[in-house]
Amino acid sequence: MKKQIIVNRRNTLLSLLAVSVFPKYSYSNQDLLSNNMRKQFMGSKNAPIKIKEYFSLTCGHCANFHVKTLPQLKERYIDTGKVQLEFIDYPLDRLAIIAATLARTLPTEDGYLEAISILLKKQKQWAYSKKPLDELRSISKLFGVSSKQFDEILKNIPLMQEIINKMEKESKNFNIESTPTFIINNNHKISGALSFKDFEKELLTLIKAKNS
């Protein structure tokens, strides 16, 4: 995916918000907005290898990575304290913004991580549906979100804007051009949904370089 496509996509997302495709929603509590946008990690903060994953909840390659590669990465590297993985929303379209907003709205400590896991596993059910919002509304009930609360999420323009702002900032910092993209220790980039074997090879190369 070329950089120009990403730039155009971001402009499209911003224009969707600007023309009020969604009803207006006002945040009276800035602390709540900041809490919704808190960093989301898996693994120890003391892990020597820090990985940032840029993903979209409507990206098939991202779903493939989360379903097939992440469980092995978690077992061998994250749970053993070698790797910390940070999840960064990089929505590819309007629907992905809504899904990311849903995940970031969940109040429980692990709500976001649980939500993105389920949303990516069930991606074909909602993202490729003829009525994706109806399917997303149905799935949101698994997170304890009522239909009324889901309607409020659709109005949450400030949070959607923050997600897009974060996406823009990260794109400039690391030249993100496609999803999924992984930035390791802020200077090593991996693009694409690699198999665990290939992803591990990249990690082992980095670890060897760090220890040499």
CATH code for the domain of 19: 3.40.30.10
Question: Residue 126 pLDDT more than 90?
Answer: yes
Extract the runs of DSSP E, i.e. beta strands, from the chain. Answer: 40-42, 49-55, 83-89, 181-184, 188-191
Confidence grade of residue 183 (pLDDT, cut at 50, 70, 90): very high
In whole angstroms, what is the distance from residue 46 CA to residue 35 CA? 22
pLDDT at 159 exceeding the cut of 80 = yes
Q: Which range marks the domain in which residue 206 is found?
A: 3-211
pLDDT tens for each residue of 57-71: 999 999 999 999 999
pLDDT at 26 exceeding the cut of 90? no
Query: Is the per-residue pLDDT at 21 higher than 50?
Result: no
Q: pTM (2 decimals)?
A: 0.85
Across the chain, mean pLDDT equals 86
CA–CA distance, 105 with 206 (Å, rounded to integer) = 35
Q: In angstroms, what CA-CA distances link 117 with 12, 14, 70, 164? A: 27, 26, 10, 21
User: What is the number of structural domains in the chain?
Assistant: 1
Judged against a pLDDT cut of 70, whether residue 15 lies above it is answered with no
Burial of 144 (0-12, 13-18, 19+ CB in 10 A): exposed
- Residue 27's pLDDT is 53
pLDDT reported for residue 165: 92
Q: What is the pLDDT of residue 210?
A: 66
Closest of 54, 163, 63 to residue 105, by C-alpha: 163
Question: Could you report the per-residue pLDDT of 165-177, keeping only the tens digit for each?
Answer: 999 998 888 989 8
Euclidean distance between CA atoms 99 and 124, whole angstroms: 13
